[in-house]
Each structure stands twice: as C-alpha cells, then as structure tokens.
Structure 1
Amino acid sequence: MRRTGRKNGNAVIGVVTAVALCSGAWLLSSGAESHPPPQPSAAQAAQAPATTPGTDPRSDSGPTPLPPSPPDRVRIPAIGVDTPLMGLRLTRQGSLDVPPPERKNLAGWYEAGTTPGERGTAIVAGHVDNKDGPAVFYELGALEKGRTIEVERRDGSVAVFTVHANEVYDAKDFPDEKVYGAASRPELRVITCGGKYSKQTGYQGNVVVFAHLTAVR
C-alpha cells in the first residue's frame, strides 16, 4: 500500500508500504516465482483520464447513493471471492492497518472513511498471499472490466459495483489522487499487492480495481 495525505470521507488516509501485505512470503518460501499472481493487462486500464479525480468519465448516472452503513461481506464472483470484511484503521505510524496475515481469506475496509454505496470513494484491501499460499485477492489482477463486485451491508442492502478499470502501479508512481481522491458518486477501490517482485523486498507495487455503483438490492 502507498502513502497518501488524501481525505476519504472525513478522515485522512496515511498509507505506507505494508510489509505484511506485500512481502510475497509464499513465493519466496515455495520457489513459486514462476507462477506469480495475475496482473492487469493494458486492456483493463481506464480508457481516458478522469475529468474528476476518482471517477469514470463515461457515465455519472447510476443509483441514488445509499446512506452510511458498514459493510460485512464482499463477493467478486468472477474470481471466486466471497469473504467477510473487518474494519481497518490507521496504525500509529499513519499507515492503513491490514487484516491479520494468518487469516488469508479475510479482507478489510477503511472504516473511518466512506462506506461502500455511500457517495464518495470506499476502500477495501486484502492480502495477495501469505507464507502458506495464495490469499483472498490473489486473483484480483485477473478481474476484467464489466465484472461486478457485491458488498453486503449491515442495513440489509447489497451494493453492486461494476468494474471500470483494473490497473497496476509501481510504488514510486502510485497515483494517490486517482485512487483515494473524492468522487461525485459511489465508488469502490479494491487494493492488493502486485507489480514486479523482489526476493529482498516483496511486491513492488499495487493492483487497484476501480468500480462504481450500478445497482442496489
């Protein structure tokens, strides 16, 4: 994860490289460097620069934004993800905390910011792997535009998001404003580690899925 000073909702996200999220311990211990997690292709990138940071310029229409409600579960059918969500806060160092690495099938959401379905940019993050093998978002880089992400909310509603981009960034070139910046409609970012891999330092960047609210159940 990358550092940023952006505001998401009413809280400041300060995100720095998280060794627990990006170490690639499984690749290192198993000798599986020849089978790294999939990475987004150029075809899955956004087609044009956003006119407003954090938005898809092709359409601003969609369902009415939902009132705040914590999310309890996220499903991404196309890559077999169906996982509970825990709340994530900031560490004392100002970085976004991550789910416990031993719970590889657990993801988290930034609970001091926007809730999924609410107007603005909601953040979900999870491990790509741990020392025992692939984790919850190992296949995130393979997610294609047009696929859906479903978020079960505590108020009983399900917010359905449609992917409009899937991109990978080197840590040194991470676009803080594009990923964490304010949005004029309900949007979702799903983040894990990716990019180049180093035996010394782990993954060198992040895979980021960009999605916007298209239905409510």
Structure 2
Amino acid sequence: MANRKDFSPTDRTRLKRKSNRGRYDAKTVYDILDAAIFASIGFVIDGQPHLIPTAIWREDVWLYIHGSNGSRLIQHLASGAPAVVSVTHLDGLVLARSAFHGSVNYRSVCLYGEFEKVEAAEEKYRQMQLFYEKLVPGRWQDMRPPTANELAATSVLMIRIEEAVAKIRSGPPIDDEADMLLPHWAGVIPTQQVWGQPQADEKLNPWVVMPDYLARYGAQG
C-alpha cells in the first residue's frame, strides 16, 4: 500500500493555537514516528484515563506495538477502544530575554484511532523481526528467535496512521521588540540523543565476541 501524501485535519487534529506549527504531510509525521522508540498511549477505562509508555515501530501506514496477552493495555486496546498515541522529541531549550517567551524546540505527533490485533502467527513473527531490526539492525540474526509458545503469549497490535498531526517548534526565541536591548543572553541550547558504548552482561561467556554491528552502535549520534 502506498504511503499517503497528507492527512486531512479533523476536529481532534486541527490545531487551535500556534496553528502555524502544525504539519499534516505524511513524510513529516512518518519521520517523527520513525525517530521514536517509545510513545505514550492514552485510553480510558470506566471513566478513568490512563497513559502508558510503550515501544513502537512503523511499517507503511501502520504503527505497531506489542506486549503480553495479560497486559491491561493490550487487552483494552485489542477490543477496539479509542486511543491516542503521542510522540515527542526534545530538540533544544529556547532561552528568551523574558521569562514569558522562554520555550523549547520539539517535534511531536498525535495520532488518533483504534488498534486491531495482528492475528496470523507468521505476520506476528515478521513484525517482531522488524521491531528488533529497527532497534538494532543486524540483531535478529544474532539471537534466538521467539518460540511458538512465546509468540502465542505475545500480542502485536496495529493502528492505521490516518488521523494524525505533527507539531514542530524550531529556531531562536521570539522576544518582544521592546525587550531586544535587554542585557540578557538569548538563544538555543540544542540537545540530542547519543548512544553509549555497549556494556557486556557480567554473565556473558568470555568467548563471545561483540559483533561489529554493536561495536558501531555506540558511535551513533
């Protein structure tokens, strides 16, 4: 299925404040989702709101999660209950000349819809492979794959990326003209996620050598 070119704003995704920061094109939404490992998933059970972080991955127009069959999150979402998925990347602290105009640079996505289960065992297996390969390319071939029983104890859910909006803030502070000559430093402190060097399990057999794909992993920015 071809990727969609854009998303039509809905009552839930149309930005009412700072609408100029909204993005509805698929590339922006997909890029933000693909850069994320975790998302927060919101849902309501018996009038009580819940917000649970969980790992995510995307293939085409679908976003995936997985978890134990006994998980309250998985059981509730598998029933087709409404849900919202939220992803945010912090890109920097925006220091303005005034406290009022201090801000942060960020990239975010909110996605609304209903999850459904991936039923076929072969597809669940393939999606778990995609998940691991997103986290650490090359890892799937370097570990024991899930057994039939382990796969049966795991649910994979997917939600169509259809009702979605990205919101982005970038650039320097926006101070009032009257504050521009104040003697206070203004600018941006950028931030980024950096992976450290892999640390071996203390119980690792001494003859096991770190594979090249892991040795390179810590060098990624």
The TM tier, using the shorter chain, reads 0.3 to 0.5
Question: Which structure's CA Rg is the greater one?
Answer: 2
**How does the TM-score come out when normalised to structure 1?**
0.35
Ranked by relative contact order (alpha carbons within 8 Å, sequence separation 6 or more), the top structure is 1
**How does the TM-score come out when normalised to structure 2?**
0.34
- The structure with the largest helix share of the pair is 2
